Structure 1
Amino acid sequence: MRESSASVFEYLAKDVSAAGSFHSRKSGISSADGEVLCAVDAGGRPSLLVPVGEVKRGPLDWHSKSLALQTLELSVDGLNQPFMILRCIDPMLHHQFGLLADDVLHAVELDPETAPNAVLATLERWRNLFEAERGALLGPAQLAGIMAELSVLQELVRTHGPKALYAWQGPNGNRHDFVFADCSIEVKATTNHNNMVVTIHGGRQLSAPDQGELYLLALQLERTPNGKSVPAMVEELIDSGFPRLELLTLLGSANYSDGDSSAYKEVKFSKLSESSYLIDARFPRITGETLIPSGTIERLSNISYSIDLGHMKETDLNLSTVVIRNAED
């Protein structure tokens, strides 16, 4: 497996070049005009150098608050060569840029004859993610919730492969975190050591799905220096074949920014227990179906309540048997 661009950039940044030059390494991927280089500039900013046939001005030269793209003639091994240079401007996005660079290299590998077009097409897909405004840092409780959902996603990928990503619908605004063809799952996390209490937000989270049964999957997590962070989990999922941009976009919809991964790496969790429950008529909840008189749920706002799962009957939930919908379904 090819080394990640992020790790190459990190290695190169330890020995930046003199002002005005790049410290580079061959990527192992070639365009029709030569080998693509991973590099850092004199300021340690990660860059991708894609050889092109000639220097072209105009739409290939632009910059934003996060990225810059230009065409420039550079001297490599004593020879002058025009390059399309994609550079990360924002130091908070260096890791995210490494993932973008991986996608660019893959695109060039698939279409080396028209490498500039491959670069531009890939960049266009990623630009919204790079230009998105970052909010305040998430707290430990919010990170625990994301860790719980990513843990379910990781378990799903073991038997269903990367297509399991299509089932993660919570960040898209669906009332349930995971939606399958035959059931839905709401995922909850708690860091309480003494009891299994989870918080339900709104009157829709535990309402019946359009198809099949609804399950509540609760994970009890412990914050520990020997555990795993959300950024580490994200890297594992990408290494398992998840499409980088799609995963980061979903995380962004869940208010998680990869640009803050350096801060989040310090928040680590270990799983203490995992329990699942069938949401049926015997399960305590506030929804449009359970509220009396019926039809009044929409008049209530800011619904939030906690459920103690400690003495409730658990059920078996086999994630390997759920039916994943296709992306277009």
Structure 2
Amino acid sequence: MREPSASVFDFLAKDVSAAGSFHSRKSGTTAAHGEVLFAVDAGGRPTLLVPAGTLVRAMADWHSKSLSLQTLQLAVDDGKRPFMILRCLDTKLNHQFGLLADDVLDAIESNPDKASSAVTATLDRWRNLFEAERGSLLGAAHLAGIMGELLVLQQLAESHGARALSAWQGPKGHRHDFVLRDCSLEVKATTNHNNLVVTIHGGRQLAQPDHGELYLRAFQLERTPVGTSVPGKIAQLIELGLSRLDLLTALEGAHYSDADASTYEEVKFSVLSEKSYLVDESFPRITPETLVPPGMVERLSNIAYSLDLGQLEETSLSLEAVVLADAGPS
């Protein structure tokens, strides 16, 4: 298995080259015109050097505040040769650039004869993510909530493969976190050691889905230095085959920016307990159906309430048995 690009760039950055040159290392990925190289420039900025057949600078050159793409002649052992040079210009995005480089290498390996097209096509897909505006840093409670959803996503991916990502609809604004063909899931997480109390937001978060039943999946998490961080869980999901770009794009919808991954690496969680509940007519909740007269929920704003799950009856929910909305039974 190929070493993650981000790890190689970190290693190379420990020994940057003299001004005007690159410190490079072979990637193990070969294009039609030679082997792709990992590199860092004199400023330690991560760079991917892709051998090109001809010098087509006008067609390829491009830059933004975060990335640049150039086609230049570089001196190599057998003389000067043209390379496409994809470089990260924002050090806060180095980790994210490593994931972009992984995607570029995968695309080149799939079609070595069209390496230049692989670079530009992959860059086009990732460009919006690199140019997205970053918000403020997330606190531990918000990260715990994301971790809970990623834990469910991991369980689904382990049973249903990379298609499981399509079920994660919460970051897209759906009222439920996961939407499946036969049910929907709302996910909650708390770092409270003493009880399983979660916060419900709005009058529709626990409303019945359009199809099937609604389940609440609750995690009791503990912050610990030997646990797993959100960036660590993202890496595990990528190992399961989830699209790097699609996963990071979904996380942007959850207000998580991979540009802050180095900070979030320090916030790690372990799972103390995991419980599931069927949200039916006997489940305590505020929804349009539970308020009278009908339609009253539309007149109430800023609804938020705490729900103690400790005394409620648990239910058995196997994520191996659920059916993804875009596929038949797995």
TM-score (norm 1): 0.98
SS at match of 1:217: strand
Report how far residue 78 of structure 1 moved.
4.1
1:301 alignment partner AA: S
Whole-angstrom distance in 2 between the partners of 1:59 and 1:169: 38
| Counterpart position of 2:60 | 60
Whole-angstrom distance in 2 between the partners of 1:158 and 1:299: 42
After TM superposition, list the pairs within 5 Å mapping 1:1-150 onto structure 2: 1-150=1-150
1:250 alignment partner AA: A
2:211 alignment partner AA: Q
Decide whether the 8 Å contact of 2:50 with 2:84 is kept in 1. Answer: yes
| Counterpart position of 1:204 | 204
Decide whether the 8 Å contact of 2:181 with 2:326 is kept in 1. Answer: no
| Counterpart position of 2:185 | 185
SS at match of 1:58: helix
| Counterpart position of 1:295 | 295
Whole-angstrom distance in 2 between the partners of 1:299 and 1:282: 24
| Counterpart position of 1:267 | 267
Q: Structure 2: where are the runs of 5+ without partners?
A: none
Whole-angstrom distance in 2 between the partners of 1:230 and 1:108: 29
2:236 alignment partner AA: E
* Stretch moving more, 206-215 or 103-112: 103-112
Whole-angstrom distance in 2 between the partners of 1:229 and 1:317: 25
SS at match of 2:11: helix
SS at match of 2:219: strand
Report how far residue 107 of structure 1 moved.
1.1
Q: Structure 1: where are the runs of 5+ without partners?
A: none
Give the 4+ runs in structure 1 shifted more than 4 A. Answer: none
1:83 alignment partner AA: F
| Counterpart position of 1:220 | 220
Decide whether the 8 Å contact of 2:57 with 2:72 is kept in 1. Answer: no
Report how far residue 325 of structure 1 moved.
2.1
SS at match of 1:42: coil
Whole-angstrom distance in 1 between the partners of 2:301 and 2:274: 30
Whole-angstrom distance in 2 between the partners of 1:172 and 1:112: 35
Report how far residue 199 of structure 1 moved.
0.3
Whole-angstrom distance in 1 between the partners of 2:173 and 2:315: 27
Report how far residue 59 of structure 1 moved.
3.6
| Counterpart position of 2:168 | 168
2:114 alignment partner AA: T
Decide whether the 8 Å contact of 2:215 with 2:278 is kept in 1. Answer: yes
Whole-angstrom distance in 1 between the partners of 2:325 and 2:9: 37
Whole-angstrom distance in 1 between the partners of 2:172 and 2:39: 36
SS at match of 1:54: coil
RMSD: 1.0
TM-score (norm 2): 0.97
1:222 alignment partner AA: E
SS at match of 2:210: coil
Whole-angstrom distance in 2 between the partners of 1:276 and 1:32: 52
Whole-angstrom distance in 2 between the partners of 1:117 and 1:162: 25
Whole-angstrom distance in 2 between the partners of 1:192 and 1:2: 39
* Residues 266-307 of structure 1: per-residue CA shift (max 9 Å, x gap): 111111111111101111111111111011211111110011
1:263 alignment partner AA: T
| Counterpart position of 2:241 | 241
| Counterpart position of 1:159 | 159
* Residues 3-34 of structure 1: per-residue CA shift (max 9 Å, x gap): 11111111111111111100111111122211
Whole-angstrom distance in 1 between the partners of 2:117 and 2:270: 44
Whole-angstrom distance in 2 between the partners of 1:309 and 1:109: 50
SS at match of 2:274: strand
Whole-angstrom distance in 2 between the partners of 1:186 and 1:55: 53
